[in-house]
């Protein structure tokens, strides 16, 4: 349970840090570097989103399998 709390805290702190870091980079870095960093951030964000989409699809599929197996067993008993 503690790991979940720390993982959640890490996500929250990371999400809170993104606007701060982004604004500081924009103020101190050349325009090209900001574009490259922004593009990298968008690619990572899309990749993470795709990962969670696939993860949730897999969870739904497994849940359907488990429910089907449960219904099958209930019919036999």
Question: Does position 4 have pLDDT exceeding 90, yes or no?
Answer: no
How sure is the predictor about 70, in pLDDT bands with cuts at 50, 70 and 90? Answer: very high
Range 10-25 average pLDDT: 84
**How confident is the model at residue 2, as a pLDDT?**
82
Helix orientation angle between 31-76 and 2-28, rounded to the nearest 10 degrees: 160
User: For 47-51, what is the mean pLDDT?
Assistant: 93
Instruction: Give the C-alpha distances (Å, rounded to integers) separating 14 from 9, 19, 20, 21.
Output: 8, 10, 10, 10
The answer to pTM > 0.75 is no
> CA-to-CA distance for 54 and 69, rounded, in angstroms?
23
Domain ranges in the chain are 2-76
Say what the pLDDT of residue 34 is.
Answer: 66
């Amino acid at each position: 349970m503690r790991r979940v709390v720390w993982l959640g805290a890490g996500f929250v702190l990371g999400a809170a840090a993104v606007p701060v870091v982004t604004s500081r980079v924009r103020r101190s870095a050349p325009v090209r570097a900001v574009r490259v960093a922004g593009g990298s951030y968008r690619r990572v964000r899309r990749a993470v989103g795709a990962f969670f989409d696939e993860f949730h699809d897999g969870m739904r599929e497994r849940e359907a399998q488990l429910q089907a197996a449960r219904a099958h067993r209930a019919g036999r008993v």
